[in-house]
């Protein structure tokens, strides 16, 4: 039986632990904080479990769906039958991006794009041409340019960017079109739109992140003989020659293991192996801001909305409360909590034909300052592989070379890859 120590209890660490323990490995997972989930967590507030940011899934998230099926929480997802997103602009006008169920894939998606009337007829033609060219495109050819350059080269107007690309790009890459890697976006778009009829469907969790991922993962690991230690921080990884020989924490020392897995974000990795990972100094981060508003009367009728050209990019309807999500929110970091709450409420009231300020009974603002790394052109070139210079040390986490941005799908994929590497050995 292989003995494995996993450092980090985020989604990638949990996925690594689940797949290793399922394959018969003896797993010990160490998490420095008193909670699991890493940058995707929930907290109890005002009688509800609220997330630090709503994480929607797509039908193309095959690794995540397989993972949730394994830990037994797949039934806690709300699957769309076909792609449908309600968008609203600042004049309160509604638009729907919806695939046509009367036509086969991928014609149904192309018809949906053509009927997206937030764009002019000419702009919709340009958008369709873009997707036609994307189908035959080798994403590797875009490795040296930004998303902004790519879109401009393909005749995407400022209005197309504002009404379509901006909200999609910031939601998936958590950065601006100026900073994002075109290669990374191309890979994501190909998976979303050209990976089968259900790939572009949106999937919304019916429960919190903790109930969807964390609790069931931890239980799976322990039920398979593994251990999960919270509030135990790794302070040193000792090496000798080509091997890691000891893991030292603030509570224990571990020397009896076959493999160690570092499932931690780049800035934490840099603290443990600064001399080996100078490229990690180049990593920059982007924040996500979420606002939860409890209402004594809920006037929202859809499960979720996309707001065009607004810092309040998404609104999710939770019944007795609503959640807003703002990706790429660094511009808000200098504002106080009260200023952001007031700003967001004013924005919402500008987009909808009703007031909510007189219906709010409670609120909770959550700012995740290092929510994701920015998948820029240069960073994509230095993302780490899974195998390290030490024969028994494996890198995991969404910064590993998954060819995906910093998403839950990327984190789960890295966990599966790490586990498979260890068990293959």
15: how many CB neighbours lie within 10 A of its CB? 31
Give the pLDDT confidence of 373-398 residue by residue, as tens digits.
999 998 877 787 788 889 999 999 98
Give the pLDDT confidence of 59-90 residue by residue, as tens digits.
999 999 999 999 999 999 999 989 999 999 99
Q: Is the peptide bond between 106 and the residue preceding it cis, with omega within 30 degrees of 0? A: yes
Looking at residue 280, its pLDDT comes to 77
The pTM of this model reads: 0.94
DSSP strand pairing (26-30 vs 227-229): parallel
Kindly indicate the confidence band of residue 272, based on its pLDDT and cuts at 50, 70 and 90: confident
Give the pLDDT confidence of 210-244 residue by residue, as tens digits.
999 999 999 999 999 999 999 999 999 999 999 99
The domain made up of 3-42+62-68+207-282+376-424 has a fold known as: FAD/NAD(P)-binding domain (3.50.50)
Rounded Cα distance between 292 and 52, Å, is 10
Q: Is the dihedral of CA 355, 96, 84, 373 positive or negative?
A: negative
- Classify domain 285-373 by CATH architecture: Alpha-Beta Complex (3.90)
Domain-wise residue ranges, the chain: 3-42+62-68+207-282+376-424, 97-200, 285-373
């Amino acid at each position: 039986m292989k003995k494995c120590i996993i450092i980090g209890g985020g989604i990638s660490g949990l996925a690594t632990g689940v797949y290793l323990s399922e394959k018969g490995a003896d797993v010990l997972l160490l998490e420095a904080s008193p909670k699991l989930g890493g940058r995707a967590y929930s907290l109890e507030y005002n009688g509800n479990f609220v997330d630090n940011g709503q994480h929607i899934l797509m039908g193309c998230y095959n690794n995540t769906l397989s993972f949730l099926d394994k830990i037994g929480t797949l039934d806690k997802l709300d699957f769309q039958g076909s792609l449908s997103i309600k968008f609203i602009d600042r004049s309160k006008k509604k638009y729907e991006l919806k695939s046509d169920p009367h036509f086969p894939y991928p014609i149904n998606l192309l018809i949906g794009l053509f009927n997206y009337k937030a764009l002019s007829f000419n702009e919709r033609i340009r958008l369709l041409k873009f997707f036609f060219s994307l189908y035959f495109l080798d994403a590797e050819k875009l490795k040296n340019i930004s998303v902004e350059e790519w879109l401009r080269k393909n005749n995407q107007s400022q209005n197309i960017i504002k009404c379509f690309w901006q909200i999609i790009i910031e939601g998936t890459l958590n950065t601006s079109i100026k900073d994002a890697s075109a290669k990374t976006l191309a890979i994501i778009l190909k998976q979303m739109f050209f990976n089968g009829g259900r790939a572009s469907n949106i999937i919304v969790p019916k429960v919190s992140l903790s109930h969807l991922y964390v609790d069931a993962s931890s239980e799976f690991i322990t039920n398979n003989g593994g251990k999960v230690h919270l509030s135990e921080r790794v302070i040193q990884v000792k090496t000798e020659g080509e091997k890691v020989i000891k893991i030292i924490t603030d509570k224990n020392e571990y020397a009896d293991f076959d493999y160690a897995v570092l499932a931690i974000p780049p800035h934490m990795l840099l603290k443990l192996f600064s001399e080996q990972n100078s490229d990690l100094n180049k990593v920059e981060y982007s924040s996500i801001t979420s606002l939860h508003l409890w209402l004594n009367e809920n006037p929202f009728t859809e499960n979720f909305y996309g707001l065009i050209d607004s810092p309040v990019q998404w609104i999710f309807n939770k019944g007795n409360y609503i959640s807003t999500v703002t990706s790429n929110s660094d511009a808000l970091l200098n504002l106080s909590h009260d200023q952001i709450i007031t700003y967001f409420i004013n924005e919402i009231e500008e987009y909808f034909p009703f007031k909510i300020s007189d219906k709010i009974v409670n609120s909770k603002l959550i700012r995740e300052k290092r929510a994701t790394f920015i998948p820029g052109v240069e960073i994509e070139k230095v993302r780490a592989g899974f195998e390290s210079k030490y024969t028994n040390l494996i890198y995991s986490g969404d910064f590993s070379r998954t060819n995906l941005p910093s998403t839950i799908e990327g984190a789960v994929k890295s966990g599966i890859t790490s586990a498979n590497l260890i068990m293959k050995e």
